Amino acid sequence: MMARNGSWTSLLALWLIVMLTALFTRPLLPVDETRYASVAWEMWLRGDFLVPYLNAEPYSHKPPLYFWLIHAGWWLFGVHEWVVRAVAPLLALLILFATAALSRQLWPTDTGASRLAAWLVFGTTFFTAFLSWVQFDLLLVLMTLLALIGMVRAARGSLYGWLLCGIAMGLGVLSKGPVILLQVLPVALLAPLWRHTDEHCGWWHWYAGLFVSVLVAAGIALAWALPAAQAGGEAYREAILWGQTANRMLQSFAHAHPVWWYLPWLPVLFAPWTLLPWAWSAMRRYRISNDMGVRLCLGWLFAGLLVMSLVSGKQVKYLLPLLPAVALTLARVWSSLDDRPVTQRPWLLSGVLLVTGGALAVVPRVLDSATWLPDISPLWGLLLMATAVMLLLLPALRPAQYPLRLALLSVWVVLLIHLGIYRTAAPAYDVQAVSELIAGAQANGHEVAIATRYHGQFGFAGRLSRPLLQLDAESLQGWAARHPHGYLVFILRTSLEQYPKAVFTQPYRSGYLGIWTGAVVAAHADIFQ
């Protein structure tokens, strides 16, 4: 059976392959990854580990815990890009172990389910692709899992369980704000649906323990937030205490979508497991009423989905904390299946791979919306189509063998994405050369400004010690006239043919990046609007 033969060694090997492939096929991607690296760099440069900074201004959009983890790596190994990029994969690995640990808490006698759950998380294609990204969501997933481990221990009578839950929620707030409460508290409040009362912990004790846990979380969060609010100034204080917390949940200034927006994305988020009809039919036959752990996971899943749907700002990655709930449920159900081979062919899964591979082979030939898009070889799409055919030719498998095979499939798909798309697109997303040019210009006494909104793309890559001035259309020509020897950075959506010779140009995302001197910009005011 896969649960026995799919060892942790195999899982670690696959994790390592994905991590190393990501490290060697793509740079830090603007604007998110480069921005977070630059925030960590400015905090490190300033020696200010309380208030995050971006371009010499307090950065209120994210709490500091992820940046602290980067700093810990720099303290141990020096300031290197690979340290920044290693944090997320390490968090992903800890998520696999934490998922297995939660499974053991829920089903102490079902050892197969714990290993199976870890494989199911890793085998989810979205998770496998996401584990190499410099983002805050994996840290939130980990803290959610630790909080629920503590909650289940509390349900079994451990007072220390509430302490663990509170610490994890507090660190979750320092990871990505109070959104962790939307993941954990509904599970606790729905305890009558999944927990049996006993003489050791009645409902009064349960909710009293939850209250204490929330107080612990609040204490941890406020231990950072209050001094940071004082040190960061009035605007920063208003942002972290209101604008980036309650206000963002109620009326998001970014990524606002209707309540139903997540529903069509669920098959994508939980693929490939959503594309196995036989597996979900087994779910329908399972006696949920007899399983406390499954009831907890389903309450976690549906309550979390409902609450996150009510939050105005939505992205697919915001549902990542719900992925372990699905994995744990499926692991428990599938571990109970007998060993009779599954003869049903994965037609739906193969069809999705076939269509995706066909699109990857054809679309780059007919679209030119990005400068790098036509360079993608159709070979990668053909390989994906061949994978779809091979999947249909596999012999009948035992139910417990499917997670391993599909985990391998997820790794293969992610490798194709990295080798076929990311590697081709990398030159248009690599800001190392331009960042070093900017650093050199500043070191030689030249003023450098950017004629668009600046997201910190160049701060860490160039190890900049001075901020870049952001210019709007009204101030552009005046600045250029006053600084003829200064440098102006432009990010353009049009071809470079109409522009005069630049100090530096490169393809950048779906357009171009160019640097001109102030004298040239002033002399061609009709072009540089």
Each residue of 230-257: pLDDT tens digit? 998 888 888 888 765 555 555 555 567 8
Residue 528 lies in a domain: no
Q: Within this chain, do residues 88 and 197 fall inside the same structural domain, yes or no?
A: yes
Digit-coded pLDDT (tens) for 474-526: 899 999 999 999 999 999 988 888 899 999 999 998 889 999 999 999 988 88
Shared domain check, 167 and 54: yes
Mean pLDDT calculated for residue range 418-444:
92
pTM above 0.95, yes or no: no
Same domain for 383 and 286, yes or no, is no
Residue 6 lies in a domain: no
In the predicted structure, residue 315 carries a pLDDT above the cut 80: yes
Q: Where are the alpha helices (DSSP H) in 368-462?
A: 378-393, 402-417, 423-425, 432-443
Task: Indicate the number of domains in the chain.
Answer: 3
Residues 438-453: what's their mean pLDDT? 93
Q: What's the whole-number average pLDDT of the chain?
A: 88
- Do 442 and 353 fall into the same domain? no
Answer yes or no: do 93 and 159 share one domain: yes
For residue 58, what are the β-bridge partners? 53
Placement of tokens 């001035």 in the chain: 469
Q: Return all residues near 108 (Cβ < 8 A) that are at least 6 apart.
A: none
Q: How confident is the model over 298-323, as a mean pLDDT? A: 92
Q: What is the pLDDT of residue 2?
A: 41
More confident position, 64 or 354: 64
**Above 90 in pLDDT, residue 470?**
yes
Same domain, 285 and 410: no
Is the predicted pLDDT of residue 284 greater than 80, yes or no? no
pLDDT one-digit tens code per residue, 142-200: 999 999 999 999 988 888 999 999 999 999 999 999 999 999 999 999 988 888 766 45
Residue that is written with structure tokens 């808490």 in the block:
105
Q: Is residue 379 situated within a structural domain?
A: yes
Share of the chain above pLDDT 70, in %: 91
Phi-psi region of 312 (alpha: psi -120 to 50; beta: other; left: phi over 0): alpha
Residue corresponding to tokens 């451990």: 158
* 10 within domain boundaries: no
Claim to verify: residue 129 and residue 174 sit in the same structural domain: yes
| 127 and 255 both lie in a single domain | yes
Q: How far is CA 317 from the centre of its chain?
A: 6
**In the prediction, which pLDDT does 213 show?**
96
Residue range 401-410: mean pLDDT, rounded: 81
Q: Give the 3-state secondary structure of residue 448.
A: strand
Q: Does 250 fall in a domain? A: yes
Asked if 403 and 120 count as a contact pair (C-beta separation under 8 A), the reply is yes
Residue 355 has what pLDDT?
87
> Is there a domain that residue 386 lies in?
yes
The pair of three-digit structure tokens given for residue 69, joined into one six-digit string: 């983890």
396 contacts 341 by C-beta, under 8 angstroms: yes
CB 169 within 8 A of CB 217: yes
Q: Across residues 68-97, what is the average pLDDT?
A: 96
Task: Note whether 393 and 320 are same-domain residues.
Answer: no
Residue 199 has what pLDDT? 47
Which of 382, 398, 427 is the C-terminal boundary of a domain? 427
Q: CA torsion 53→59→61→64, rounded to 10°?
A: 40
Summarize the confidence of residues 411-430 as an average pLDDT: 89
CA angle at residue 140 from 325 to 235, to 5 degrees?
145
Q: 427, 456, 479: which is the final residue of a domain?
A: 427
**112, 129, 318, 167 alpha-carbon torsion, rounded to 10°:** 60
Residue 280: pLDDT band (50, 70, 90) is confident
The mean per-residue pLDDT over the stretch 89-106 comes to 96
User: Does residue 17 fall inside a structural domain?
Assistant: no
Among 313, 335, 357, the domain boundary falls at 335
Q: Are residues 276 and 198 in the same domain?
A: yes
Residue 369 has a pLDDT of: 63
Out of 88-97, 237-246, 268-277, 382-391, least confident range: 237-246
Residue 143 tokens read as 């803290």
> Would you say 378 and 365 are in contact if contact means Cβ atoms under 8 Å apart?
yes
Task: Establish if 8 belongs to a structural domain.
Answer: no
Task: Render 210-250 in DSSP notation, one character per residue.
Answer: HHHHHHHHHHHHHHHHHHHHHHH-HHHHHIIIIITTHHHHH
> Are 178 and 319 in a shared domain?
yes
Q: Is 377 exposed, middle or buried (0-12, 13-18, 19+ CB in 10 A)?
A: middle
Report DSSP letters for 77-145, one per residue: H-S-HHHHHHHHHHHHHHHHHHHHHHHHHH-TT-HHHHHHHHHHHHHSHHHHHHTTS--SHHHHHHHHH
The closest of 91, 67, 63 to 248, measured between CA atoms, is 63
Are residues 219 and 99 part of one domain? yes
N residues, the chain: 529
User: In this predicted model, what pLDDT tens digit does every residue of 387-399 receive, in sequence order?
Assistant: 888 877 777 666 6
Domain hosting residue 395, numbered range = 347-427
Strand partners, 487: 448, 517
What pLDDT is stored for residue 1 in this prediction?
39
